[in-house]
Each structure stands twice: as structure tokens, then as C-alpha cells.
Chains A and B, each alone.
Chain A
């Protein structure tokens, strides 16, 4: 249990997808105009990560790893398919995203309208593929750990995007120099938030 809490805290704060690895930046910057849409986007990312990381974990353990196919019989003991992991992971992610897109379109057309072009882009949100690759690299031992890690890194993204959206809503009342308004100041705010999050890096769990 303690181990799971550690994985979660680590994924949210210390190894935050956005601030520590700068993954998932495109949707992060483009969807953070209001808190409401950013909550929708963050929720979608948490959901997709919570599904795809454990799925990819199963794929990795039972299909891709060296010797993973041994359940098929003796002959498959030394088959190593790990060179396929990129394309397999992205296929799982893309199909899950398509599913989420259909569900949101059906049940919440308003949210679908406001997420616009960026919903399909969750598939190419590098935070999603990145999490699966980190999962592979860090070799979590069972599916619970992988799920907790997926949810944790999703929550880290959620926290970051909602935080930025809140700052952007406030900054509307400030007198930012014209050419810097909008995107420019957002980059600079994100940079400063990144510098702030670097202070978590010293924590050992």
C-alpha cells in the first residue's frame, strides 16, 4: 500500500509529466484558456492514461517482452518482440482515444465542441505515449502499480493544466504588453511554473 502511495505522489509532483519532462505541451498550452475546458481536458487525459497504461502493461508482459510469449509453448521462449512496442503502444492509445471521442460526442456535445481539434490530438499527446514508455522503462511489477502510475501521471497533468488555466483567467485583468498577450505570456508563466516545480526534484520517496 505504502509503495502505491509513493508511486502516485512521485508521478504527480516529483516526476510531473508537464514540468519535469515537458510532455503533452501542445494540448496543455492550447486548452488552458478557461478552467472549465481545462478540467474537461485534464479529466480526459486521466481517463485515457488510467486505461492505456495498464493495457500496455499487459501487452508488454504477455506479448512484447523477451520470453513473454512462453505461455504459447516451449518454442516461443526466446521470442523478443520489444522492437514492436512503439507501434503497438500507439495503436492501443489511438483506439482508446477514438472510443473516448465517441463517448464524449454522444454524452456531452458541449464539451465535445469546446475541446474541438484537440480531442483527436490526445492520441498524439506525448504525455500518453510517454507514460507507457516510462512504464516499460521503470518495469513496474504488477498491474496495480502500473494503473496507479497511469492515474498519477494523469493527475499530474490535470493539476498542471488547471493551475495554468486559473492563472490565465486571473491574468486577463493585468496589463500585459500587447505583443506578449495570450500565447507569449503563457509560455513565460509555464516556464516559471516549471522552475517552481523543480524544487520538488530533491524529495526522496
Chain B
């Protein structure tokens, strides 16, 4: 077997594909639940993206190392144990270093266990590839996921509460209540609008990237 460098063209593709052509949220339909639940504000979205980034890349490497040892009948349980352990680790680290954000996120950190993006990548990629490739795949998918998360959270927080990272961005005197012209769209905070925002993102992405258009 010839030695392949870590940054060969094929490996670079593993890293860049999930950003656009094979984005976990908009193309593979993985990890939607958390994308909808925590995108009301930017800060939890960023923390969530970082947590998933850690759990996904490490879980990918571990499962890929174990891939020849796991009997396929019980692979789901093994994968879940790996994921749950990493999630507990993330939870403890968040509690220790950013307690406020962790309190805000508490339930959702636990929900990383059931975030199907992690399970999906383990099933589809890590079980059949070497650790190095699995690591790149994990990085790429976590970036793709985080990117969509942050874009959705940006628009929902900006339009729904007029703030970014909790600081007021839209000047208060613009609001109708204060005699201005701007009406806040409270609807953006409700969960259904997260779906519609992602739908519109997909629309824009596929207008630019026409080969993703589905026949129906």
C-alpha cells in the first residue's frame, strides 16, 4: 500500500465536502432536532457547535479504531456508550469553565447523545474507514453543522429579538413603540420559524449549487 499524505486531494475533499455539497443539515438530513431547538440565540448555538465538534471528531476516531472489534449486532450500543461517555465529559467541562452557558444549555448538551449527526457519521463512515480519514470526516461534518447552526441563530436572534450575542444591535429608537419604523418579528423565536429559516437557507444554497437540486 502506498503511503498517502494526510492532506492529499482526496482527504481534503473529506474535509470540504460537508461544508456545501454534502452538508449534514441541508443535504444529509442529520442533526435537525438540535438545530431547531437551540438556534433562538447565537451564544448557545456557538457552544453547541463547539461541543458537537469535539464529540463528533473524537467519537469518529474511537469507533474507527474499534471498527474491527465491534460485532455488528451490538454496534449501536457500543457507539452509544462511546458517545454518551464523551457527552458526559463535555458536560462536566462546560460546568467547570462556563457555568452560565452550561446552565442555559443543560438539556441540550444531554441531547447531543441523541443527535443523529454523530450516530449517522459513525454508521456511515467511521465503521468502514481508517482513523485518520474518520477524524477528517468528523471535522468536516462538524464544521458544516456548526456553520448552518450559526447562520440560522444569527437571523433568528437578529430578527426575533434585535440582538446578537445578547447585545442590542438594532437601535432602540427605531422600534415602533419608541416612535420609529421597525417592528420586531416575535414569530422568529417560535420553533416553526426555525424550520422555515432552514428551508429558505436550502433554497439559497441550491440556487447557487444547482447539482443538488432534487428531481422531486
Contact = CB atoms under 8 A, between A and B. Distances in A.
Given A22-B37, A178-B213, 5 more contacts: A22-B36, A126-B111, A181-B214, A194-B192, A198-B190
Given A25-B33, A90-B80, A184 B195 contact: no
Contacts of A22: 33, 36-37, 191, 194-195
Contacts, number: 140
B196 interface: yes
A5 to B, nearest CB: 27
A9 B147 CA distance: 39
A113 interface: no
Contact of A187 (B33, B84, B119, B196): B196
B18 to A, nearest CB: 16
What secondary structure prevails in chain B residues at the interface with A?
helix
Interface residues of B, number: 49
A23 to B, nearest CB: 6
A25 B213 contact: no
10 contacts: A22-B33, A25-B36, A29-B29, A90-B114, A120-B119, A179-B205, A180-B203, A183-B214, A192-B196, A195-B190
A76 interface: no
B32 A26 contact: yes
Contact of B33 (A23, A91, A180): A23
Contact of A179 (B27, B115, B210, B215): B210
A195 B84 contact: no
A97 interface: yes
A71 interface: no
B70 interface: no
A94 B33 contact: no
Interface in A3-34: 22-27, 29-30
Interface in B80-104: 80-81, 84, 88
Interface in B112-159: 113-116, 118-120, 123-124
Contacts of B113: 86, 90, 124, 129
The residue among B26, B32, B74 with the most chain A CB atoms within 10 A of its own CB is B32
Interface string B168-188: 000000000000000000000
B195 A179 contact: no
A41 to B, nearest CB: 13
